């Protein structure tokens, strides 16, 4: 198959998947098979594309011209390839997990759920392979709209309120700021194609570059730069697979990926470095990074804590872009992959705990680790990766970021990264610690009333191992293993990303 | 000088009437004064050489409009409620608008100045060429029906639209013919006799105005109004039922549409002679003969529609559930 | 021969069909006639557009009298595009109207309704196609009078239609009279009524105070007709209480024709050399447009009746249109022209969906749409699609409009306006969202039985939804025509 | 400004006064019939404006007599003939609406009608929300 055909196929597969899921909605087993088959096929397509890329080809296709000079077009480049791999790869795992979780919790509207999931992944792939900012923006919006039904899945008043925040912030920032930035770019340069070295150099004055950058950065609400991060904790009302999708696979990753794309291909690292247009962004990222960690520390709800952790971790990527050096770009890009793997593990674990015990608050989870050793083991590995300790993948991205900070002379950023890592330790490890060591065996902590269907109600049962359904446990173990694998194979990632960083 | 004086006097009288309308709260006198306003305007128009316009304004403003307004009053209210809102804002807006207009007059050509642009561009051709191109003495009719004949088709359509509109709005509340003779003025014997005597000459006059429009003031519109006036007088005196028996509502509706069709149709005929729309020159042996015939036909169309609209509008108003009785006045 | 006469056939066909349809005793017959005539008009307008894009402008002399003496039809890309919008929407509404009108208008009025509809249709086309200032007034009045009646016919459902129509009549007549005063004054200093001739003879009269006041009166008069904020007060109730099919039609066409006339007078007749024009655009149009965008959108949020909500949204959307004019640049006018088209599509779809709800529930309020996502899925889905387009979500026409508008403001260096444009469209998210939430996330009240709208209404609605998406994905054609029109208005060589 | 100017423009000024009186009646009065009367006066005054500009000093009505004469400009006359028709059409429609409004509301005062509408609206809204 031609490169262009393969690229088009990467969009058609999830589209066909969504349609088939809709058609097979009455037969859950068939429906889930379709989901899995779609996921596997998509991943295979992306891997095929990777091979073409490694072989030196640059697959590209123009799908349709919307307005003169403005087209929907796809093109593969290293950064997008990495994101495409993460999204499609993790989707497989996420699908397996969803099946376990949705069935385990007897959720409503499962067909709608899987359809939206497929469309979301379609949008994520579209974002990954977009050849120009216009195409990226369109898929970015499709992603927002298609995940809205997932966020409000439970249809409770709380879910609806959160959905409003979610949609309001994401649509608001993207239409209100990002679109203006895109059109500004178009008016200034006459093109929106992602071009190595950027397209803005020489087209706009150095003085206004920070403003344009601000429109982009705050306009990319999915990157959750403060103060536009509220949607992310709000979206925690959604079922856990959705949270995993939001945090690891698609949504926030699409956000920081867009940040990287804008920095590398629209502005160009050199242009940013030369004009210092991104200096302010570095500070905002550092601020978000620390503040979100502090907020996370104060959250008792596990998912809320993880949400704020995400807000914090995303800022590493933004920081990498803002440092405007090749090391920063590589570190930031790697962080996309590393965080994806780590955070999806953590969310899978949180979901597994909920499925098994219907507990959401950390203070209620004392001693659960002894009952769910696999889940908690996976959680520990994920947490270590997020913190950035070897031998987990997360350590590499932190390493390159520190190098970048040293490179650019922003030594204070090294301090920020250090403090942040300590905060990570402070809010992640206690969860594991309490799981394994805290709490007496006699009674559940704080006398919390376990939700109906909870399987672990008495101390005596706690001694026995009582894991969540297999479909909920295998995925976190897989991704936890992935965290370790990424540590040893980071050089592959480095070599993939190298071309974008080197001029 | 005497011209100017008459002019000013009439304008002052108009202003006095307008102010009086503004201040009165008895709607009956408001309507009557509005009729007076139209009538005095018509006098002024004659004085300004616009005889055709004056004719029409008198027939419409002082005649038809007044009848319609009186009919409306009979169905609605006699008095205006006292003011309840602030009138400061309207006053300011109107004052500013007026000031703007006055400012605009400062560069206007003076009244009656023969060298004004309006007298040197476009219009001269109408005055010099009508005799040869159209071949009729009344330049206004020539411009109305031929040079700018399409405007007049539009005008006919406007009045047609109003006629259809009134039917749509009021048809639902029209009293069906009951067979009862509700005749308002049975006891006014003199009036009845005089009316009978008058209607004949009025109709005759209407026909004269209709077909004499080429030569003097008049034409389809004025004739239509006079035609309708004859009917309305008949209806007023002998009762609506009698008028409806003479010309049923359905027939009126047909004439209403037929007039527009006639006008529009004459234009279409030009197509078949390879001419542009409304180019009448093809209709006769010579260009002027064609123009002559064309103007005659379209004016007839206008007359049909106008009279039908007036009559049907009157039917609609007068036929409302509460009829006008003369003792109410 | 027919090709030569196309310009006049565009008007005469519906104009003659109107009295013909008055002979029809049955509504069905009148409806058929109207449908055939409107479809024919649409075909003619397509042919005209193709021709003007090919060969530049077409001139047609009525009565064969040469231009400043007789009335001239002058068609170029600008009015050919507007003709297409009007005739296209006029045709789309008719299949939809049949059931809706049968439900909302008294039986004895249904036949004549189509006569009135054709008159309105012909009037709008006539005011757009003509090259003569006074002729434009006459046809404007045909359409206006017909519209007053059409609005008032909503009285069967709600008596407020009557007072709305009356207010519209008074405001519309004031507007028309202002327009006539303006025409009179401009005639006074030039001696001509032909627009092209006016443009030529106004050269050198930049300082003339009479021409200046004429300009002001023409702009104000048309401003009233196009509901330029704050002269929009007649619009919300007129749209809200008119029969649904009428609302769709006038919302999609009437103000468009007025905008066209505004463009024509501002740029063709007075022209960009006219120094007051720049001042008017900067100090009057820009602030008024922005005020419309924000004030009207904000008011829309608090509306209970959805039709009225959408009507206020129309005032806001007219703000976008006027804003595009105020840039006086090729991109700005392209934005205006393309938005005329796009707004017709999105408001058409939205009002059609709402009309279907009115048919089934007797009213369309935030209350009556509760749970409709389940009981009238197709109607509500159309509403959602139209709403997304209104907000300006990518792959819909609304996005294209917004794109050009923002581009125009950035191009002119007025980037705060660009931010305001998108902020105001975010207000749109709020009011559209209120409806969507009520429809999809709330349960229908007890004992409410609802059926999906009839196919005769759903098909046109979805036709428009399809157009919203199609022209949102492939804006090549519309942006080419709109661009050509913008260049013509600004006298810029293509 | 000379006396000549004043004499030359006085006609227009008076016409403007008339127009504005008409407009003021329309916008300041709440009685619907009176509004229509105001519109009539406003429009009739505009007719006078047009006809005034068509007048030529010493001219006669534009009907050819065969003798060489100065004729007043016929074009404004034609335009105003059309405008009069438009005016009466508007009046007729307006009055028909007034009659219908009286039937539906029992009043032809704008303020009363607006009050009734507002009451109806807030009632609909409260019952709507209560349900």
For B68-117, the pLDDT digits (tens) are: 999 889 888 888 888 777 788 889 999 999 999 999 998 889 888 889 99
Rounded Cα distance between C146 and C140, Å, is: 10
A172 at C interface, C-beta within 8 A: yes
Q: How far apart are CA A67 and CA C473, in angstroms?
A: 8
What chain D holds in terms of domains, given with CATH numbers, is 3-130 (1.10.287.3510)
Our CA dihedral for A200, A205, A206, A210, rounded to 10 degrees, sits at -80
pLDDT of residue A32: 82
Distances (CA, A) of A107 to A21, A111, B164, B246, D82: 17, 10, 61, 79, 72
Q: How high is the mean pLDDT of chain C?
A: 91
Phi and psi angles of residue B22, each rounded to the nearest 5 degrees, phi first? -60, -40
Give the tokens for residue C62: 């009525």
More confident site: A80 or B179:
A80
For residue A468, is pLDDT > 80? no
Chain D interface test: which of B58, B76, B109 (most D C-beta within 10 Å): B76
- Which residues are A130's β-sheet partners? A74
What is the Cα–Cα distance from C196 to A6, expressed in whole angstroms?
57
* C-alpha A281 chain-centroid distance: 20
Inter-chain residue contact B146 with C19, CB threshold 8 Å: no
- Reported as a single tens digit per residue, the pLDDT across C187-244 is 999 999 999 999 999 988 888 899 999 999 999 999 999 999 889 889 999 999 999 9
pLDDT reported for residue A485: 83
Q: For residue range B296-318, what is the model confidence (pLDDT) as tens digits?
A: 999 999 999 999 999 999 888 88
Q: Is a pLDDT exceeding 70 seen at residue C253?
A: yes
HEC secondary structure over A83-107: HHHHHHHHHHHHHHHHHHHHHHCCC
Examine chains C and D and say if they touch (3+ CB pairs below 8 A).
yes
Mean pLDDT of A371-395: 82
Q: Of the candidates B164, B70, B327, which has an alpha carbon nearest to the alpha carbon of residue C142?
A: B164
Percentage of chain A beyond pLDDT 90 is 1
pLDDT at C461 over 80: yes
Domain boundaries, chain B: 137-329
Per residue in C138-169, pLDDT tens?
999 999 999 999 999 998 888 899 999 999 99
Say if C244 falls within a structural domain.
Answer: no
Per DSSP, the three-state class of B214 is coil
Nearest CA in chain C to B295: C63
Distance from CA of D31 to the nearest CA of C (A): 12
Q: Would the pLDDT of B1 be above 90? A: no
Residues 6+ apart with CB under 8 A from C345: C252, C389, C397, C464, C467, C468, C471
Distance between CA atoms of residues B214 and B100, nearest Å: 40
Contact between B164 and C149 using a beta-carbon 8 Å cutoff? yes
What's the whole-number mean pLDDT along residues C285-289? 93
Question: Which chain D residues are closer than 8 Å to B143 by Cβ?
Answer: 74-75, 77-78
Residues A63 and C442: their CA atoms lie apart, in Å, by 39
What pLDDT is recorded for position B176? 59
Residue C367 lies in a domain: yes
Query: Which tens digits make up the pLDDT trace of B224-248?
Result: 988 888 888 888 888 888 888 888 8
The answer to whether residue C187 is domain-embedded is no
Which B-chain residues 234-273 have CB contacts (< 8 A) with chain C? 253-254, 256-261, 264-265, 267-268, 271
Work out the pLDDT band at B328, boundaries 50, 70, 90: very low
Q: Determine the pLDDT at residue A464.
A: 56
What digits encode the pLDDT tens for the residues A12-71? 888 888 888 888 878 878 888 888 888 888 888 888 888 888 887 788 888 888 887 788
Residue in C with minimal Cα distance to B99:
C213
Of A370, A386, A492, nearest in space to A429 by CA: A386
* CA neighbours closer than 13 Å in the CB half-sphere of residue A418: 8
Domain hosting C299: range is 274-494
CB pairs under 8 A between C and D: 87
CB-CB under 8 Å, D34 with B11: no
For residue D83, the model assigns a pLDDT of 94
Q: Which residues contact A32 (CB under 8 A, 6 or more apart)?
A: A95, A99, A114
Of C76, A431, D48, D95, the closest CA to residue B111 belongs to D48
Residue D101 to residue C162, Cβ atoms within 8 A: yes
How distant, in Å, are the alpha carbons of C83, C94, C176, C470 from that of C46?
9, 18, 29, 18
pLDDT at B184: 54
Tokens of A67: 């307005």
Note whether ipTM > 0.90 here.
no
> Is the model's pLDDT at A131 over the cut of 50?
yes
Mean pLDDT on D24-42? 93
Q: For position B208, what pLDDT does the model report?
A: 87
User: Can you tell me which residue has the tokens 């557009």?
Assistant: C49
Nearest to C149 among B151, B158, B165 (CB): B165
Closest-CA residue in chain C for A66?
C474
- In this complex, the chains that touch B, judged by 3 or more CB pairs closer than 8 A, are C, D
Q: What is the pLDDT of residues C51-75, one digit of tens each?
A: 999 888 899 999 899 889 999 999 9
Q: Would C352 be classed as within a structural domain?
A: yes
Selection from C335, C285, C318, C329 nearest residue C492 by Cα: C329
CB contact under 8 A, D105 and C166: no
How far is the C-alpha of C404 from the C-alpha of B147, rounded, in Å?
Answer: 43
Average pLDDT over residues D9-18: 91
Q: Is residue C224 part of a domain?
A: no
Average pLDDT over residues C267-287: 86
CA distance B309 to B167: 10
Asked whether the beta carbons of residue C400 and residue A183 sit closer than 8 angstroms, the reply is: no
- Nearest chain A residue (CA) to C411: A187
Q: Both tokens of residue D33?
A: 């019939």
The whole-number pLDDT of residue A457 equals 47
How much is the mean pLDDT over chain B? Answer: 86
Instruction: Select the residue of C400, C406, C473 nearest A180 (Cβ to Cβ).
Output: C406
Taking residue B273's Cβ as centre, other Cβ atoms within 10 Å add up to: 12
A302 Cβ contact partners less than 8 Å away, ≥ 6 residues apart: A350, A353, A360, A361, A362, A365, A431
- If we measure between CA atoms, which residue out of A310, A339, A333, A340 comes closest to residue A90? A340
Chains B, C: CB contacts within 8 A come to 174
What are the pLDDT digits (tens) for B201-227?
A: 888 888 888 888 778 777 888 899 888
Domain total of chain C:
1
Poorest-confidence range of B12-21, B160-169, D117-126? D117-126
Cβ within 8 Å of C, D 28-67: 32, 35, 39, 42-43, 46, 49-50, 53
Among A137, A164, A177, whose Cβ lies nearest the Cβ of C394? A137
pLDDT at C16: 93
pLDDT value of position A502: 67
């Amino acid at each position: 198959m031609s490169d262009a055909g393969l690229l088009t196929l990467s969009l058609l597969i999830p589209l066909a998947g969504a349609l088939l899921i809709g058609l097979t909605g009455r037969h859950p087993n068939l429906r889930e098979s379709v989901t899995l088959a779609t996921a596997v096929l998509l991943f295979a397509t992306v891997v095929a594309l990777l091979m073409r890329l490694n072989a030196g080809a640059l697959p590209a296709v123009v799908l349709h011209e919307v307005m003169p000079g403005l087209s929907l077009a796809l093109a593969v480049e290293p950064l997008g390839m990495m994101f495409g791999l993460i999204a499609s790869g993790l989707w497989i795992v996420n699908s397996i997990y969803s099946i376990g979780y949705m069935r385990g919790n007897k959720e409503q509207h499962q067909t709608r759920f899987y359809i939206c999931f497929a469309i979301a992944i379609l949008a994520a792939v579209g974002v990954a392979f977009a050849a120009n900012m216009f195409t990226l923006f369109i898929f970015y919006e499709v992603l927002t709209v298609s995940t809205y039904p997932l966020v409000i899945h439970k249809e409770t008043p709380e879910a609806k309120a959160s959905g409003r925040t979610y949609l309001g912030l994401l649509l608001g920032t993207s239409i209100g700021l990002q679109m203006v930035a895109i059109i500004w770019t178009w008016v200034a340069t006459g093109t929106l194609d992602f071009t190595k070295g950027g397209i803005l150099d020489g087209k706009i004055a150095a003085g206004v570059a920070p403003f344009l950058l601000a429109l982009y950065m705050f306009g990319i609400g999915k990157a959750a730069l403060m103060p536009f991060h509220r949607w992310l904790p709000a979206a925690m009302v959604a079922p856990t697979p959705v949270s995993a999708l939001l945090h690891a696979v698609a949504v926030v990753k699409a956000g920081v990926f867009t940040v990287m794309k804008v920095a590398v291909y629209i502005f160009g690292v050199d242009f940013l470095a030369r004009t210092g247009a991104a200096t302010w962004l570095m500070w905002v990222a550092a601020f978000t990074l620390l503040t979100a960690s502090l907020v996370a520390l104060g959250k008792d709800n596990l998912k809320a804590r993880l949400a704020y952790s995400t807000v914090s971790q995303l800022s590493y990527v933004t920081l990498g872009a803002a440092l405007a050096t090749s090391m920063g770009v590589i570190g930031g890009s790697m962080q996309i992959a590393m965080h994806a793997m780590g955070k999806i593990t953590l969310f899978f674990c949180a979901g597994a705990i909920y499925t098994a015990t219907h507990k959401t608050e950390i203070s209620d989870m004392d001693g659960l680790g002894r009952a769910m050793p696999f889940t908690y083991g996976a959680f520990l590995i994920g947490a270590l990766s997020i913190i950035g300790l070897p031998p987990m993948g997360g350590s590499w991205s932190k390493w390159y970021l520190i190098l970048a900070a040293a490179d650019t002379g922003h030594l204070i950023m090294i301090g920020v990264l250090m403090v942040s890592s300590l905060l990570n330790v402070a809010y992640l490890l206690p969860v594991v610690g309490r799981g394994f060591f805290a709490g007496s065996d006699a009674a559940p902590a704080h006398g919390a009333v376990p939700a109906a269907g909870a399987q672990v109600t008495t101390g005596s049962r706690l001694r026995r191992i009582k894991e969540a359904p297999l479909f909920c446990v295998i995925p976190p173990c897989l991704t936890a293993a992935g965290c370790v694998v990424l540590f040893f194979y980071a050089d592959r990632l480095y070599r993939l990303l190298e071309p974008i960083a080197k001029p | 000088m005497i011209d100017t004086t008459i002019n000013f006097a009439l304008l002052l009288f108009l202003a006095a009437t307008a102010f009086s309308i503004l201040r009165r709260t008895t709607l009956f006198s408001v309507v009557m004064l509005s009729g007076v306003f139209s009538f005095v305007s018509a006098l002024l128009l004659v004085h300004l050489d616009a005889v055709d316009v004056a004719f029409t304004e008198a027939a419409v403003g002082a005649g038809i409009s007044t009848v319609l307004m009186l009919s409306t009053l009979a169905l609605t209210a006699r008095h205006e409620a006292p003011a309840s809102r602030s009138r400061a804002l309207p006053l300011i807006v109107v004052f500013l608008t007026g000031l703007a207009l006055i400012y605009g007059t400062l560069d206007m050509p003076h009244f009656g100045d023969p060298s004004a642009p309006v007298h040197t561009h476009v219009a001269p051709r109408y005055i010099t060429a009508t005799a040869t191109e159209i071949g009729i003495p009344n330049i206004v009719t020539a411009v109305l029906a031929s040079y700018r004949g399409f405007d007049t088709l539009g005008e006919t359509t406007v009045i047609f639209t109003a006629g259809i509109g009134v039917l749509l709005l009021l048809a639902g509340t029209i009293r069906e013919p009951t067979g009862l003779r509700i005749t308002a003025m049975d006891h006014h014997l003199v009036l009845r006799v005089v009316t009978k005597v008058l209607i004949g000459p009025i109709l005759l006059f209407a026909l004269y105005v209709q077909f004499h429009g080429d030569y003097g003031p008049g034409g389809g519109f004025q004739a239509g109004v006079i035609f309708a006036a004859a009917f309305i007088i008949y209806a007023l005196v002998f009762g609506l039922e009698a008028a409806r028996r003479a010309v049923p509502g359905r027939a009126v509706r047909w004439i209403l549409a037929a007039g527009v069709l006639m006008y529009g149709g004459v234009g279409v005929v030009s197509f078949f002679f390879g001419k542009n729309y409304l180019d009448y020159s093809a209709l006769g042996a010579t260009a002027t003969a064609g123009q002559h015939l064309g103007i005659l036909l379209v004016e007839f169309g206008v007359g049909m529609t106008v009279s039908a609209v007036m009559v049907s509008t009157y039917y609609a108003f007068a036929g409302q559930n509460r009829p006008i009785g003369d003792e109410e006045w | 021969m027919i090709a030569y006469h196309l310009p006049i056939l565009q008007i005469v066909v519906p104009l003659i069909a109107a009295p013909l349809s008055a002979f029809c005793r049955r509504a069905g017959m009148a409806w058929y006639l109207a449908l055939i005539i409107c479809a024919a008009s649409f075909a003619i307008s397509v042919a005209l557009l193709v021709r003007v894009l090919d060969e530049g402008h077409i001139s047609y002399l009525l009565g064969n009298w040469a231009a400043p003496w007789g009335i001239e039809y002058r068609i170029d890309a600008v009015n050919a595009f507007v003709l297409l919008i009007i005739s296209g929407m006029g045709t789309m509404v008719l299949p939809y109207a049949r059931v809706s009108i049968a439900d909302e208008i008294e039986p004895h009025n249904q036949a004549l309704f189509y006569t009135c509809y054709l008159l309105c249709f012909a009037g709008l086309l006539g005011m757009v196609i003509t090259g003569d200032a006074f002729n434009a007034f006459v046809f404007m009045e045909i359409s206006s009078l017909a519209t007053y009646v059409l609005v008032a016919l909503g009285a069967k459902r709600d008596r407020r239609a009557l007072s709305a129509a009356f207010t519209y009549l008074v405001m519309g007549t004031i507007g028309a009279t202002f327009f006539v005063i303006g025409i009179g004054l401009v005639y006074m200093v030039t001696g001509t009524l032909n627009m092209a001739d006016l443009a030529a003879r106004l050269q050198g009269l930049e300082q003339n105070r009479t021409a200046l006041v004429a300009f002001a009166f023409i702009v104000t008069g048309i401003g009233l007709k196009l509901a330029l904020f704050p002269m929009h007060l007649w619009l919300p109730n007129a749209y809200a209480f008119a029969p649904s099919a009428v609302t769709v039609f006038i919302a999609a066409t009437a103000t468009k024709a007025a905008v066209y006339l505004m463009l024509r007078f501002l740029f063709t007749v007075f022209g960009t050399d006219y120094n007051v024009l720049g001042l008017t655009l900067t100090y009057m149009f820009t602030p008024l447009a922005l005020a419309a965008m924000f004030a009207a959108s904000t008011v829309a949020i608090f509306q209970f009746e959805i039709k009225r909500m959408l009507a206020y949204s129309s005032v806001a959307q007219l703000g976008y249109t006027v804003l595009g004019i105020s840039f006086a640049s090729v991109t700005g006018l392209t934005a205006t022209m393309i938005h005329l088209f796009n707004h017709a599509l999105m408001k058409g779809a939205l009002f059609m969906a709402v009309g279907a709800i009115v048919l089934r529930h007797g009213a369309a309020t935030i209350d009556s749409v509760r749970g409709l996502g389940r009981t009238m899925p197709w109607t509500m889905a159309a509403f959602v699609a139209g709403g997304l387009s209104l907000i300006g979500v990518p792959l819909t026409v609304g996005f294209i409009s917004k794109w050009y508008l923002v581009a125009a403001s950035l191009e002119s260096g007025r980037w705060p306006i660009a931010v305001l444009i998108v902020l105001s469209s975010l207000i749109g998210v709020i009011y559209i969202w209120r409806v969507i939430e009520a429809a999809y996330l709330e349960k229908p009240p007890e004992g409410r039985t609802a059926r999906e709208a009839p196919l005769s209404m759903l098909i046109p609605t979805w036709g428009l939804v399809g157009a919203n998406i199609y022209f949102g994905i492939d804006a090549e054609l519309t942006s080419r025509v709109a661009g050509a029109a913008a260049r013509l208005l600004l006298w810029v060589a293509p | 400004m000379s006396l000549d100017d004043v004499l030359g423009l006085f006609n227009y000024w008076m016409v403007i006064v008339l127009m504005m009186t008409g407009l003021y009646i329309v916008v300041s009065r709440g009685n619907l019939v009176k509004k229509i009367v105001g519109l009539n006066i406003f429009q009739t005054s505009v007719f006078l404006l047009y006809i005034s500009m068509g007048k030529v000093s010493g001219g006669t009505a534009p009907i050819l007599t065969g003798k060489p004469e100065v004729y007043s400009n016929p074009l404004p006359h034609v335009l105003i003939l059309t405008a009069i028709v438009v005016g009466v059409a508007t009046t007729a429609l307006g009055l028909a609406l007034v009659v219908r409004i009286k039937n539906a509301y029992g009043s032809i005062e704008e303020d009363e009608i607006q009050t009734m509408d507002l009451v109806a609206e807030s009632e609909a809204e409260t019952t709507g929300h209560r349900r």
